[in-house]
Amino acid sequence: MKQLGIFFVVLLSFWACTQQSKLSKSPGNGKVVVTDSTEYEITIIDPGFDQWYQMNFSAAVDRSNEFYRSANWTGVSNWNQYFHRGRYSRVISTFIYFEPGTDYGIEVNRKLYWYFRYVEETSGIRLLR
């Protein structure tokens, strides 16, 4: 019985080592492809935004994702500065976490950009300039 237990431990160890070596082998060309399956979503709870967005946005005024990303970086920077200073607290009551190197997708970038435009137009707060 003791020999049978030792045999199973050795067999289990051998099996564990072979599985590890299969996982550690790299592809033949040395390239590893990593896909980011993270999807981002933006939720705007301002009651007037959706109607304003439908009236002001059209495909004719649509821009590239890079345009939206760089404009949003400016908008988020200004928004967060106002938040930390306590200015415009009736409108700006939250911090926006935004990384300029992260691609949030054109839908998120577009909607955030147009929300900044909405805030500028309805409250007079300069965000995108």
**What six digits make up the tokens of 91?**
């409108």
Per-residue pLDDT at 67:
96
Query: pLDDT digit string (tens) for 56-65?
Result: 999 999 999 9
Taking alpha carbons only, the member of 85, 77, 91 closest to residue 124 is 91
Query: pLDDT digit string (tens) for 81-91?
Result: 999 999 999 99
What is the C-alpha separation between 92 and 53, in angstroms, rounded? 19
Q: First and final CA of the chain: distance in angstroms?
A: 80
Per-residue pLDDT at 98:
92
Q: In degrees, to the nearest 5, what angle opens at C-alpha 101 toward C-alphas 98 and 105?
A: 75
Q: Residue 40 is inside which H or E element, if any? A: none
Low-confidence spans in the chain with pLDDT less than 70: 1-37
What is the C-alpha separation between 35 and 18, in angstroms, rounded? 27
pTM of the shown model: 0.70
